[in-house]
Amino acid sequence: MTEERFWLLFSARLSGEATPEELAELEVFLQENPDAHLRTGMIENIWSVNPPLSEDYKEAAFNKHLQRMSNHFSEPVLQYESEASEEPVIEKKPRRVIYRVIGWVSAVAAACVLGWYAYCYFPFASEDVNTAQAQNTVSTKKGSKSKIQLPDGTQVWLNADSKITYNENFQDKLREVQLSGEAFFDVVRDESRPFIIHTNVIDVKVLGTAFNVRSYADEKNTETSLIRGSVEITLRNNPDKKIILKPNDKLIVDNTEAKAETASADIAPDKHRSNRSSLLTLRKVSFKENESGALETLWVKNKLAFDKEPMEDIALKIERWYDVKVIMPDDRIRKTEYSGIFENENLEQLMEALQLTGNFHYRINKKEVTIWP
Amino acid sequence: MKAYKELYYQLFDGLHRFSYSMVRSKEVAEEIVSDVFIKLWQIRARLGEIGNLKVYVYTITKNFSLNYLQRTYKNAPVSIEEVEVEPIVEMRNPEELFISAEIMQTIRQAILQLPPQCRLVFQLVKEDGLKYKEAAEVLNISALTVRNQLAIAIRKLGETLPAPVQKLIPATKLFSAS
């Protein structure tokens, strides 16, 4: 066998492309030349090693990619694609693909033009145009959380049992989303297009900042906690009243009061919990030692936190976090306050820990937790 | 979206390496791969019409990389044969292979001295596990050429390795009671 033939067969074997005849031929040669084994063995070693990039690197690259992709669709220019389509020829129906891509682009262009006309000529109907538009909805079930990125790059962490909705025209003039439940927003700054979050009782308008909004329909209050930047909050029933928050401010709006809102909205400085009946309460976000973030945002880091909260509020949080039902047949336990931060604890561990600090009994039966004094 | 992410994770390594070997910048290669995936997203409804997705994405990656080079450098290469290719033969832990760092260096040198096309063939077939036919399509050459080029690469590699007499692991080391 010539040297050349040997390497040809050997490389074909390495890449799994050798025919059975070729394999046999190589085998015979190697048996007759045992020395060659050492060399081939070493190359085989080198061949088989193929360390993949780390998952972290891929993850980061993928996130960056999603960001670029969303930017791209607002301003579609592929950076490295030349004007003339450099599509490789696809075996089947190659032309069609190219035309269809063009078709797709022009369809989008046409839609944009039409949208603009509709907007210009039917200003009064614009509301209808908006509602007729396709909506994107992201929602989470009880017991699960999610993180999403909006087309403008804004990051949203969605807590359990929450829903966020935005229109297809999200990026046009305003960046508007509808929220029910709890979400932490890290908004990309864009002064020309304010970011507005609509909830049942308040609208939160921001430019670029990070903050948490908690607005569950079954809770007493709607809370907005600002981490950095600034936000402007208006009550849906009283749009003239604007409240500006500064970093580490937390605004609590009483849901029932807000719905029966009269024009006289006053901010009551936080005195005590008994002051619940006032419509608006302004206080500071809470920090705990050894925790880097504000208590209000710890859920983003998968930590369940309570800060002197009555059991009835805690029960709601537990129900969402673990997707269970909490039953308190005896009312006395409802108002007892508890604090604590729990990370990666399961329901049993959490209940066990809470029980250590307070006088109550509990029983877990599948998806039902019963608590009594 | 889940399938899309999986596809990205599956192909990222290979495409990034392939692009990097031409553009020689991790960041640019990353952007090129990103562009390739934007493209895939745009035509996602028609992906079924593509005969061989792997060949398709490698080919777009090649085209985008060449476009980048043409745009960035004045005397840019117009075809793949002219591109200075830097293959990345990553071997994280030479000890695992019982190969000294010195030998590793020799291997890298040997690969660097291969003609560009030969290097790309080596990389596509070895690192990315492309079939001869697939690599041929991507590089726009015949499968026979791929076969021959790979043999040349492997031979060069074999010739740089130490003489066969030298045993890799002394048997005594393996079997002596420690």
List the CATH number of the domain containing A320: 3.55.50.30
CA distance B60 to B43: 13
Asked if the structure places residue A248 within a domain, the reply is: yes
Q: Examine the domain organization and report whether A274 and A209 are in the same domain.
A: yes
Return the CATH number at A154: 2.60.120.1440
Q: Examine the domain organization and report whether A168 and A276 are in the same domain.
A: yes
Q: Does the pLDDT at position A75 exceed 50?
A: no
Asked if the structure places residue A43 within a domain, the reply is: yes
Domain end residue (candidates: A48, A68, A84)? A48
For residue A49, which residues of chain B lie inside 8 Å, CB to CB? 91-92, 96-97
Closest CA to B15 of A15, A80, A100, A45: A80
Q: Which two tokens stand for residue B172?
A: 């005594």
The pLDDT tens digits of the residues spanning A299-351 come to 887 888 888 888 888 888 888 888 888 988 877 788 888 888 888 778 888 88
Asked if the structure places residue A86 within a domain, the reply is: no
Touching check for A87 and chain B: CB below 8 Å? yes
Asked if the structure places residue A80 within a domain, the reply is: no
Element (H, E) at B83: none
Cβ atoms within 10 Å, residue A373: 13
Q: What is the pLDDT of residue B74?
A: 62
Asked if the structure places residue A76 within a domain, the reply is: no
- Going by the DSSP 8-state scheme, the letter that residue A63 receives in this structure is H
CB A223 within 8 A of CB A251: yes
Q: Examine the domain organization and report whether A346 and A241 are in the same domain.
A: no
- Given pLDDT bands bounded at 50, 70 and 90, which one contains residue B68? confident
Mean pLDDT over all residues of chain B?
Answer: 77
The pLDDT tens digits of the residues spanning A119-153 come to 333 333 333 334 445 678 888 888 888 888 888 88
Q: Which of B25, B49, B98 best tests the A interface by mutation, with the highest count of A CBs <10 A?
A: B49
Q: Percentage of residues in chain B with pLDDT exceeding 90?
A: 21
**Structural domain count, chain A:** 3
Contact criterion met (CB < 8 Å) for A45 and B107: no
Residues of the domain holding A337: 302-372
Q: Examine the domain organization and report whether A142 and A266 are in the same domain.
A: yes
CA distances from A177 to A149, A158, A210 (A): 12, 13, 15
Q: What is the pLDDT of residue A53?
A: 62
Q: Which two tokens stand for residue A198?
A: 């609509």
Q: Examine the domain organization and report whether A238 and A368 are in the same domain.
A: no
Q: Examine the domain organization and report whether A176 and A227 are in the same domain.
A: yes
Asked if the structure places residue A62 within a domain, the reply is: no
Which residue is it, tokens 């450099």? A86
Q: Examine the domain organization and report whether A182 and A236 are in the same domain.
A: yes
Beta-bridge partners for A182: A214
Q: Examine the domain organization and report whether A238 and A321 are in the same domain.
A: no
HSE of B97 in the Cβ direction (CA atoms, 13 Å)?
23
Contacts of A46 (CB under 8 A, 6+ apart): B89, B91, B97, B99, B107, B157
Domains and their CATH numbers in chain B: 2-82 (1.10.1740), 94-160 (1.10.10.10)
- Going by the DSSP 8-state scheme, the letter that residue A219 receives in this structure is S
Contacts of A312 (CB under 8 A, 6+ apart): A328, A334, A335
- Given pLDDT bands bounded at 50, 70 and 90, which one contains residue B82? low
Asked if the structure places residue A31 within a domain, the reply is: yes
Contact criterion met (CB < 8 Å) for B38 and A69: yes
Domain end residue (candidates: A11, A29, A48)? A48
Q: Examine the domain organization and report whether A280 and A313 are in the same domain.
A: no
CA distance B61 to B17: 10
Contact criterion met (CB < 8 Å) for B155 and A88: no
Q: Examine the domain organization and report whether A171 and A268 are in the same domain.
A: yes
Domain end residue (candidates: A48, A64, A82)? A48
Q: What is the pLDDT of residue B50?
A: 81
- Given pLDDT bands bounded at 50, 70 and 90, which one contains residue A280? confident
Q: Examine the domain organization and report whether A276 and A307 are in the same domain.
A: no
For residue A45, which residues of chain B lie inside 8 Å, CB to CB? 97-99
CA distance A348 to A362: 10
CA distance B8 to A61: 10
Asked if the structure places residue A89 within a domain, the reply is: no
Alpha helices by DSSP H, chain B: 2-23, 26-42, 53-72, 101-112, 116-126, 132-139, 143-160, 171-175
Q: Examine the domain organization and report whether A231 and A329 are in the same domain.
A: no
Q: What angle do helix axes B143-160 and B101-112 make, rounded to 10 degrees?
A: 140
Residue of B92, B154, B166 with shortest CB distance to A14: B154
Q: Is pLDDT larger for residue B33 or for residue B50?
A: B33
Gap from A356 CA to chain B (nearest CA, Å): 42
Touching check for A173 and chain B: CB below 8 Å? no
Q: Which CB contacts under 8 angstroms, 24+ apart, belong to B53-56? A: B54/B11, B54/B130, B54/B134, B55/A88, B55/B130, B55/B134, B55/B137, B55/B138, B56/A88, B56/A90
| CA-CA-CA-CA dihedral for B158, B164, B168, B170, to nearest 10 | 180
Gap from A47 CA to chain B (nearest CA, Å): 7
